Structure 1
């Protein structure tokens, strides 16, 4: 497979220095230019490259405006920025302008090799998962504090433990913090960043936008601050989730208690919607209202799954009363175990890693077994024993 690569330097000296030492790469055609961002659009038009490496030592807003104008005109060209500024702020701004990644400067032969590898990996990922269609589940709290995000993140962790590729999409765009339940690392991109580039979505863009908790467990995070949310439309949500389903076995949506058009589109696309409620009258009232809205959207009853979290047999509202109050059968019950769950949340570590024998951890493991059954041969350890032993 041949690749057409264009390099754009800021100065003639930088270009000539690379040309003097550059050794040709197999099946790679390289054109070197001078001019920086102001020359980007012309190079994309003339060279018709697969990849552009743009050297920009100190990027500013004016440069990013030129970059965005060029990538909007040529969305199929992969653009990598080579800069001495590689921090989170630069990466976020670059991605909003259509840059796929930021490589450390200066632009060198190693940069070209890294860029070519980037293109090849992108094409490999896209072809590998093109026929895959993962399962899409939505989770919505009936009321704040019902434990919805805890359930989403811990289910995702256990599905990943069962060797599934899992993506959490945090659609609580104002105050989402799903990633903090799994790791202390900070995201470099968000749902909003992807939505702003919906016209150039592909596997490579998704790969650099997610935070990788582990090799097969990723999070597409909510924005750090609720800015530019107008980019998150029904169309961009549909595009992002459609792409995600080709890349992952399970896509779990952590929803907010918001029913704007973008959220409704996500719910439309979900195979199941899990309404998470607590064993309190206010939570059950809100669950009833939410289920009523879903019925008004003509969702079939089997698509709506009522999950009762922190359930206690000695609670003031028995299970039968819960079902009468909501008008919906309870699909799943998770027991109360506040101390262990709080430790898990406060430390940002999945419960199964901290206390595999905890009743909530066991209930979650059983849930995962139903979502993703594992064949067990006679005479061998059960699936539950195997995963509990690892944890």
Structure 2
């Protein structure tokens, strides 16, 4: 398959220096231009390329505005920026403008090869997973502090242990921090960044936007600050989740306690909605209200799964009273084990890796096994490694 690549340089000298070194690549046709970001839109229109590699060694706001205008007009063209500035701030600004990735300058033969690899990988991944449709589950806390995010992240970890490809989408857009339950690393992109590029969503963009906790466990994070949330619309959510289901076996949504149109669209698409509650009257009252809202949306009763977290047989509120208060049968019980769970959260290490024999870890292993019935192997960290390192 032939690939059309356009190169854009800032100066004639820069262009001539590379063209003299560039050797023909199999099934790749290359056009070279001089003019920087100001000619990007014209090049995309004229060349109709699969890929643009553009050298803007020190991009400023004006350059990013021209880039964004061009990518909005030509959303199917992949754009890689080549720059001296490859810091996190530049990368985030570039992604918001529609750039797929930022490569270190100057534009070289290596840059061109990387660009061609991007195209080939994108087309390969898309064709590989086009017939796949993963399972989509949503999780919502009945009340703050019920442990919903802990359950989502730890269940995802165990499904990944069972050799499934798993994506967590953090849709708590204001204050979501699901990734911190699994790793101390910081994300480069967020749900908002993906939503801003909804017209150019593909497997390659998703792959560079997620944080990879391990090879088959990824997180699409909430934004660091709740800005530009208006980009997250029902349409962009539907497009994003549709793409995610073609790439992963399981897509788990960590929802906020918000029922805006985008959240409702995500809940509409979910095969099951897990409402996570605790054994307290305020949590049960809120669970009843949330379930009532879902019933008002005409969701089937079996789509709504009530999960009772931190369950204790010695509680004054019995299981039967929970079901009577909520008007819904409890689908799953997760026992209380505050010390181990708190250690897992504070260290950012999945509980099954930190304390595989803990009752909560066992309950989650059973849950994961029911969802994906193969052997789930829970790792065990040494005492020293729990102090000296996080994954």
Q: 2:92–2:189: 8 Å Cα contact kept in structure 1?
A: yes
In structure 1, what is the Cα distance between the partners aligned to 2:105 and 2:293? Answer: 53
Matched residue SS, 1:363 = helix
Q: Per-residue deviation at 1:390? A: 7.2
Gaps of 5+ in 1: 375-382
| Equivalent position of 1:379 in the other structure | none
Q: Per-residue deviation at 1:314? A: 0.5
| Equivalent position of 2:188 in the other structure | 188
In structure 1, what is the Cα distance between the partners aligned to 2:41 and 2:288? Answer: 54
Moved more, 322-331 or 40-49: 40-49
| Equivalent position of 1:377 in the other structure | none
Matched residue SS, 1:156 = helix
In structure 2, what is the Cα distance between the partners aligned to 1:9 and 1:183? Answer: 39
TM-score by length of structure 1 reads: 0.96
Matched residue SS, 1:29 = strand
Q: Per-residue deviation at 1:311? A: 0.4
Matched residue SS, 2:18 = helix
In structure 1, what is the Cα distance between the partners aligned to 2:44 and 2:333? Answer: 56
2:215 maps to 1:215 = yes
2:364 maps to 1:364 = yes
Tell me the alpha carbon deviations over residues 336-383 of structure 1, each in whole angstroms, 9 at most, x when there is no partner: 000000000000010011000000000000000100112xxxxxxxx3
2:299 maps to 1:299 = yes
Map 1:1-391 to 2 at 5 A: 1-374=1-374, 383=375, 387-388=377-378
In structure 2, what is the Cα distance between the partners aligned to 1:350 and 1:307? Answer: 19
Q: Per-residue deviation at 1:22? A: 1.4
The alpha-carbon distance between structure 1 residues 77 and 177, as it changes in their structure 2 partners (threshold 3 A), is same
In structure 2, what is the Cα distance between the partners aligned to 1:389 and 1:297? Answer: 41
Q: State the superposition RMSD in angstroms.
A: 1.0
Q: Per-residue deviation at 1:200? A: 1.1
Q: 2:140–2:257: 8 Å Cα contact kept in structure 1?
A: yes
In structure 2, what is the Cα distance between the partners aligned to 1:26 and 1:256? Answer: 49
Matched residue SS, 1:316 = coil
TM-score by length of structure 2 reads: 0.96
Matched residue SS, 2:94 = helix
Tell me the alpha carbon deviations over residues 141-195 of structure 1, each in whole angstroms, 9 at most, x when there is no partner: 0000000000000000000000000000000000000000001111111001111
Matched residue SS, 2:276 = strand
Q: Per-residue deviation at 1:31? A: 1.3
Q: Per-residue deviation at 1:306? A: 0.3
Matched residue SS, 1:21 = coil
In structure 1, what is the Cα distance between the partners aligned to 2:283 and 2:148? Answer: 12
In structure 2, what is the Cα distance between the partners aligned to 1:212 and 1:115? Answer: 21
Tell me the alpha carbon deviations over residues 252-271 of structure 1, each in whole angstroms, 9 at most, x when there is no partner: 00001001111011000000
Q: Per-residue deviation at 1:60? A: 1.1
Q: Per-residue deviation at 1:221? A: 0.4
In structure 1, what is the Cα distance between the partners aligned to 2:265 and 2:22? Answer: 50
In structure 2, what is the Cα distance between the partners aligned to 1:300 and 1:308? Answer: 20
Moved more, 201-210 or 131-140: 201-210
In structure 1, what is the Cα distance between the partners aligned to 2:352 and 2:102? Answer: 36
| Equivalent position of 2:386 in the other structure | none
Tell me the alpha carbon deviations over residues 230-254 of structure 1, each in whole angstroms, 9 at most, x when there is no partner: 0111111111001100110000000
Q: How many residues align?
A: 381
In structure 1, what is the Cα distance between the partners aligned to 2:32 and 2:236? Answer: 35
Q: Per-residue deviation at 1:91? A: 1.2
Q: 2:352–2:380: 8 Å Cα contact kept in structure 1?
A: no
Tell me the alpha carbon deviations over residues 258-293 of structure 1, each in whole angstroms, 9 at most, x when there is no partner: 011110110000000000001111101110110011
